[in-house]
Amino acid sequence: MFFASTILNPRDFTKESIDLAQYFLSIRRFFFAVLILMLLLFTIDGPLFRTEPVFNSARVTQVFVGMAVCGGLISDKRHVQTAVALTTLAILCALTVFRFFPS
């Protein structure tokens, strides 16, 4: 997750201004590929280390986040990228609420 977040930071700070939207579009495929790999690792680590079953309630959210990430990987349209970010944020917030506040 740290690696995925470092990809989002431009490395060339010598320029006076950096167009972050254009920078993101230039690295978005690599960024989303890293996120897909991360989701796959999250899916296999629980069963691999025997800390969770292969099929559990978290898999549903992983499928939805995976679909959103694939949408971001495929499309370079700004409104699609915004929808991917908001959808992923909403799913992660809902998952956090349901996981830590079950009642």
For residues 85, 75, 32 and 7, what is the CA-based torsion angle, rounded to 10 degrees? -80
Note the pLDDT tens digit of each residue in 4-48: 888 888 877 676 788 888 888 888 999 999 989 988 888 887 777
**pLDDT recorded at residue 52:** 74
CB contact set of 87 (below 8 Å; sequence gap of 6+)? 64, 68
pLDDT at residue 92 in the model: 83
Per-residue model confidence (pLDDT) at position 54: 75
pLDDT in the model for residue 8: 86
pLDDT band at 49 (very low <50, low <70, confident <90, very high): confident
What is the distance between the terminal CA atoms of the chain, rounded to a whole angstrom?
29
Q: Do 84 and 66 contact (CB within 8 A), yes or no? A: no
Q: Write down the domain spans for the chain.
A: 2-8+17-100
pLDDT tens figures, 72-88 = 999 989 899 999 999 98
